[in-house]
Amino acid sequence: MKTVRVFAPASIANMGCGFDVMGFALDDVGDILEMTLSDGDGITIVNNTDVPLPEDIEDNVITPVIRKFFSLTGLSGHIDVAVCRKIFPGSGIGSSAASSAAAAFGMNELFGRPLSGEELVVCAMEGENLASGGYHADNAAPALLGGIILIRGYEPLDLVSLPVPDGFFCTVVHPAIVVSTKAARGVLPKAVPMHDAVCQWGNVGGLVAGLFKGDMGLVGRAMKDSVAEPYRKHFIPGFDDLREKVLGAGAIAMNISGSGPSVFALSSELEVARRAGSVMREHFGERDFKCDIYVTKVAACGARLLER
Ligand code: HSE
């Protein structure tokens, strides 16, 4: 028998313009799993948190990740998983990706690291597909690898780690609203008008260039989303008004985090990031929504082992 204790961080997907192709890992917030390998085969999952999770393992994102690991490696074993810490599902900060990434990383550690980082992302995407009805890696890749990740392509998976400029402070607000990723993907149109596509690819190029140049002004100008946000912002009460106030407080950008309902702002100074948090708290307070606020940085490290 062998047991590992694994942490994988929360993450912010899309970064405004990078729908399904860009995301970054968040410091401190994340999921913790304990995984035990023994003889035989089968999977058990127990939930040691007070966050509600599916009773049936077939509905838990961890299960298809473990199965994908076995099918890619040809290995086998019995796996017991204990969920020890869990981000609330439907929060928009990569809850399903954190569990999926932790499960993929934990499996690799239990079996002596047969898979590469990219192959672990392929495993974790199975969990994302179960949760959202689509294979996307913009939460799972940063949750596994840390930092800011660009998914240059999916077939085959081609991941690019991008530099994190100095002064990249992130304020995340999670209002007490649940928006499932499936629902938020369901409101998106199947085709993008040419004008919106032109804006979007200009912005993705601008964002990548801004990160490489360390030009936070360019980063802020580029973090605009013409593809998903117009259809999703209605899930978030007073979204346009909130953005005006957050930018007025000095933040350089504000966008929906992943599929929402969390919203994040980017600031180049810690003080501004804190101020953006106060604006967000007041905004949702006035509308009678409780909210959690985090002021944080990009996590350089993704999934990792913890002491037991
Ligand atoms: N890129 C995905 C989406 C992220 O926006 O649907 C889900 O967190």
User: What is the per-residue pLDDT for 179?
Assistant: 86
Yes or no: say if 69 and 104 are a contact pair by the CB < 8 Å rule: yes
Examine the domain organization and report whether 77 and 207 are in the same domain: no
User: What is the per-residue pLDDT for 308?
Assistant: 85
Examine the domain organization and report whether 200 and 146 are in the same domain: no
DSSP 163: P
242's enclosing H/E stretch is helix 239-248
Whose alpha carbon is nearest atom 1 of ligand 1? 20
Whole-angstrom distance, CA of residue 155 vs CA of residue 18: 17
Query: For the chain, what is the domain count?
Result: 2
Yes or no: say if 97 and 71 are a contact pair by the CB < 8 Å rule: no
Examine the domain organization and report whether 200 and 53 are in the same domain: no
Examine the domain organization and report whether 128 and 178 are in the same domain: no
3-state DSSP helix/strand/coil % of the chain, to nearest 5 = 40, 25, 35
Strand ordering across the sheet containing 291-297: 253-256, 263-267, 169-175, 291-297
Site to substitute for ligand 1 among 20, 93, 188, 264, most atoms within 8 A of C-beta: 20
Whole-angstrom distance, CA of residue 91 vs CA of residue 31: 13
HSE of 71 in the Cβ direction (CA atoms, 13 Å)? 9
184's enclosing H/E stretch is helix 181-186
Whole-angstrom distance, CA of residue 119 vs CA of residue 65: 11
Whole-angstrom distance, CA of residue 256 vs CA of residue 276: 14
User: What is the per-residue pLDDT for 28?
Assistant: 82
pLDDT tens-digit series, residues 51-61: 999 999 999 99
> Quick check: 283 pLDDT over 90?
yes
Whose alpha carbon is nearest atom 4 of ligand 1? 258
Examine the domain organization and report whether 183 and 71 are in the same domain: no
136 lines ligand 1 (CB under 6 A): yes
Examine the domain organization and report whether 192 and 223 are in the same domain: yes
Could you give phi then psi for residue 272, rounded to 5 degrees? Answer: -65, -40
Nearest-atom index, ligand 1, CA of 19: 1
Confidence of residue 46 (pLDDT cuts 50, 70, 90): very high
User: What is the per-residue pLDDT for 200?
Assistant: 98
Q: How large a percentage of the chain has pLDDT more than 70?
A: 100
User: What is the per-residue pLDDT for 6?
Assistant: 98
Residue with tokens 């101020």: 275
Boundaries of domain holding 200: 169-297
What's the 139 CA to ligand 1 centre distance in angstroms?
A: 8
Strand 78-85 relative to strand 22-38, pairing? antiparallel
**Worst-scoring range by mean pLDDT, 36-45, 173-182, 262-271?**
173-182
> Quick check: 90 pLDDT over 90?
no
Residue 109 C-alpha from the chain's centroid: 22
Yes or no: say if 252 and 284 are a contact pair by the CB < 8 Å rule: no
Site to substitute for ligand 1 among 87, 88, 91, 136, most atoms within 8 A of C-beta: 136
Examine the domain organization and report whether 151 and 81 are in the same domain: yes
What value, to the nearest 5°, has the Cα angle with vertex 241 and ends 240 and 243?
Answer: 65
Helix axes 62-73, 117-132, angle to 10 degrees: 140
DSSP 88: P
Confidence of residue 157 (pLDDT cuts 50, 70, 90): very high
Tokens (6 digits) for 184: 């938020």
Examine the domain organization and report whether 23 and 157 are in the same domain: yes
Of the candidates 128, 171, 229, 296, the residue annotated as catalytic is 128
Q: Which ranges constitute the DSSP H helices of 16-94?
A: 62-73
pLDDT tens-digit series, residues 168-224: 999 999 999 988 888 999 999 999 999 999 999 999 999 999 999 999 999 999 999
Q: Measuring CA to CA, how many Å separate 205 from each of 18, 198, 200, 276?
A: 10, 11, 9, 26
Q: Which residue has the higher pLDDT, 28 or 14?
A: 14
User: What is the per-residue pLDDT for 247?
Assistant: 98
Whole-angstrom distance, CA of residue 39 vs CA of residue 50: 30
259 lines ligand 1 (CB under 6 A): yes
Read off the CATH number of the domain in which 284 is found.
3.30.70.890
Examine the domain organization and report whether 32 and 108 are in the same domain: yes
Tokens (6 digits) for 22: 């860009």
What's the 21 CA to ligand 1 centre distance in angstroms?
A: 9
In the annotation, is 128 catalytic?
Answer: yes
Examine the domain organization and report whether 124 and 255 are in the same domain: no
Whether residue 156 has a cis bond before it, omega within 30° of 0 = yes
Examine the domain organization and report whether 141 and 10 are in the same domain: yes
What's the 113 CA to ligand 1 centre distance in angstroms?
A: 28
Confidence of residue 32 (pLDDT cuts 50, 70, 90): very high
> CB neighbours of 148 closer than 8 A, spacing ≥ 6?
15, 22, 23, 24, 142, 161, 162, 163, 164, 211, 298
Examine the domain organization and report whether 251 and 134 are in the same domain: no
126 lines ligand 1 (CB under 6 A): no
What's the 82 CA to ligand 1 centre distance in angstroms?
A: 26
What's the 3 CA to ligand 1 centre distance in angstroms?
A: 32
pLDDT tens-digit series, residues 227-262: 999 999 999 999 999 999 999 999 999 999 999 999
Read off the CATH number of the domain in which 151 is found.
3.30.230.10
